[in-house]
Amino acid sequence: MDKVLEKAKELRLSIEQTPEYIEYMKNKELLENNKDVLELKHNIANLKTQGKYEEAKNLEEIYNKHPLVNNFEVSKDNLYELLKTIQNIIQ
């Protein structure tokens, strides 16, 4: 079992060095630390709690069109594809 655990750790370290993972983590950090994006998310949540769903929907559209959100989503999809490929190889 120790060999399997060691190989899993090696695989994780290898994944963390891929361009897909690096790009994902960079975009994740940018998204989580951007004041505009955070404000949009906060405003969307506030509108929903106030029952103003149409206004929240309008802000969600703006949020989803934000370049940082788009970049994050693309990098997330790319990382998912890499992980799916690895999964298929292991199976």
Radius of gyration of the chain (CA): 18
pTM score: 0.85
The mean pLDDT of 59-66, rounded to a whole number, is 97
Could you read off the pLDDT of 13-58 as tens digits, one per residue?
A: 999 999 999 999 999 999 999 999 999 999 999 999 999 999 999 9
Instruction: Report in angstroms the alpha-carbon separations of 79 from 18, 24, 89.
Output: 9, 7, 15
Closest CA to 74 of 14, 37, 19, 33: 19
Could you read off the pLDDT of 69-88 as tens digits, one per residue?
A: 999 999 999 999 999 999 99
